[in-house]
Chains A and B, each alone.
Chain A
Amino acid sequence: MFATSRTAKLMLHIANLMVIAFILLPLVAVLIGSIQSEKALQADTRRVLPLEFTLDNFTVILTKGEQKGRIFEQVTYLPDNIKNFYTAFLNSAIVAGSVTFLTLLFGSLSAYTIARQRFRWTLFLLQANIVARFVPVIVLMIPLYVVMRSVGQLNSLSGVIIAETGFLLPYAILILAPYFDTIPAELEEAARIDGCSRFSAFVHIVLPLATPALAACGVIMFIISWHELLIPLILNARPNVMTLPVVIASLVGDVHVFFNLMMAICLLALAPTVILVALLQKYIVEGLSAGAVKG
């Protein structure tokens, strides 16, 4: 009995190590790839760890190509998108921040009515949101382009923010609605008897109680928006309004950019959401399961 449980434990440890290795494999790759030179990567194609490390990849990105450092000394051409890192980072932050705010704002208004006011049309709205969550961006590409062009929102951050807010609202509503459902209605009813309007009961009583759900939904919205590629790719062609995923996508197939520089920019782009996930794991876990299984 004891012996089998010891082998069982060993097996479980080994299984854990395998899972951990799988999770870390790409993260180790991006880290090691980003701290060496193109030369080092090409000199020995069988080494995992290079002979020497350098931060020049990050330096060249973070100084907009001005400080080339040792490994880019000979390089005469760098893609403009690499030099545009700060702009793209800032654009991504503005877009993701605004989309998070707007989806939380409008999403909570809708989710609250769906949870509380059981009309035929609010149920229909819930169903519409469930189906809307599945609409693939690829079918929206051309129409979104045409719509945004006709309202003069091409090559602007606001166009991307509007499009992503609409695209993510259904998911935000699906995450928030089940939570509003769990808040006892008696609280608002008491406030209403005291002369509170419906709206101020919502703002002053329900919303403060829903803070955990708003946090869960907000962090998920921020992450998805930070990751979104196709919408900004289609709507924005000018460098000054590109977001990070668009900049990263522009490096695909660019012969002037080798893996070391690519990995460095990927690492800088994934850092914010990795930090968010590490800090707010609990909320994300709750939001993800609420948005998938409850109604």
Chain B
Amino acid sequence: MSAGSFAFFMNVPTLFFLGLVLAYPVIYAAYLSVHQVGLAQLRRGVFTFNGWDNYSRVLEDPLFWIAIKNTSIFTAITVGSEVVLAVLIALLLNQTGIWTSRITRFLILLPYAIPPIANGLIWSFLYSFQFGFLNRILFSLGLIDDPINWAGNPDTALYAVTVPYIWRTLPFAIILVHAALQGIPRELYEAAAVDGARAWHRFWHITLPLLRPIIAIILVLRTAFAFAVFEEILAITQGGPGDATWVAAWYSYKITFSPPNNFGMGSASAFILTLMIGIIALVYMRMVYRRVTL
């Protein structure tokens, strides 16, 4: 068998699955997004073409723009804090002389093991106004006199839902930074120490520049995934209070699955989200896989 046909046969299952579960559905979503599709049409399987109607209705919906704004704020906060925290905690894990760092290193991956939806429910217990675990701790420590309505207050709800998401996805970023730290030659630090560079200077002039590529990767990856946040929103706030935590994926979900079930508009809004994430994905590809050229 020639190398070419061997390579092709090896990829038949992958091509089949990519086609069935990713390519065809994405194209189909694009198709639905330019048709009028409600429950009745979906049952009959007959869709009327309505051009850009769904898109213009989505773009004219104030709730969609609130969702985009909330998603942007959510993404900026989670990704920004994750990058800063990941660098700080990875440096902390790197302190071989500190015995508590070994405990942290052992525990650091735990949040990765928690199902997102369970994470959401656990934090809804933590945040509960009346019965919440967080308020209980703060009462016991004497830090508050009255309970705080963390996720039920429209002014704080969006910030409240960022914390569970950061908690769950931070280990990934820490692991990438920690792995990159292991790749920095010790000699660089030793030479700098000989030159009398202080710890802060060593960090600023050696560590940080060498971490820049991995930080860029984390920024792009986490931005793409934070844009599609769903489970924590579903479990903690369901978009509420009011529209305070409506995010893009929640918008598509609600438009599609709550009456009057506008599948066309749902597809259109999901497609807009996909295009935004797609742009991020292309940036990522250029960054990481630069040596791969067509």
Residues of A within 8 A of B (CB): 9, 12-13, 15-17, 19-20, 22-27, 29-30, 32-33, 41-42, 45-48, 105-107, 109-110, 112-113, 117, 119-120, 122-144, 146-147, 162-163, 165-167, 169-170, 173, 197-199, 202, 223, 226-227, 229-230, 244-245, 248-249, 251-253, 259, 262-263, 266, 269-270, 273-274, 276-278, 281, 284-285, 288-289, 292-295
Contact = CB atoms under 8 A, between A and B. Distances in A.
Contacts of A169: 14, 17-18
B121 A262 contact: yes
B167 to A, nearest CB: 7
A266 B288 CA distance: 37
Contact of A134 (B21, B24, B113, B278): B278
Nearest to A14: B100
Contacts of A142: 29, 32, 256, 263, 266-267
B18 A24 contact: no
B131 A42 contact: yes
A198 B125 contact: no
A22 B134 CA distance: 12
Contacts of B217: 292-293
Contacts of A22: 167
A109 B14 CA distance: 8
A138 B115 contact: no
8 contacts: A16-B100, A23-B108, A119-B7, A136-B273, A139-B273, A166-B18, A229-B231, A270-B113
B214 A277 contact: no
Contact of A147 (B28, B104, B139, B176): B28
B171 to A, nearest CB: 9
Contact of B22 (A138, A167, A249, A284): A167
B109 A248 contact: no
Interface stretch (B48-56, B149-157, B186-194, B279-287): B279-287
Contact of B1 (A144, A198, A202, A285): A198
Interface string B261-281: 001001100110110011011
Given A120-B294, A134-B224, A245-B117, A162 B21 contact: yes
B258 interface: no
Nearest to A198: B6
Given A16-B92, A117-B6, A139-B29, A144 B21 contact: yes
A170 B285 CA distance: 13
Given A29-B122, A138-B270, A292-B217, A12 B26 contact: no
Nearest to B108: A23
Which of A19, A46, A226, A263 is packed against the most chain B CB atoms within 10 Å?
A19
B270 A12 contact: no
B141 to A, nearest CB: 9
B13 A106 contact: yes
Contacts of A120: 294
A53 to B, nearest CB: 15
Contact of A109 (B11, B95, B164): B11
Given A110-B10, A266-B122, 18 more contacts: A16-B103, A20-B103, A29-B133, A112-B10, A119-B7, A141-B266, A142-B29, A142-B256, A142-B267, A146-B28, A167-B21, A198-B3, A202-B10, A227-B116, A249-B117, A249-B234, A249-B235, A289-B176
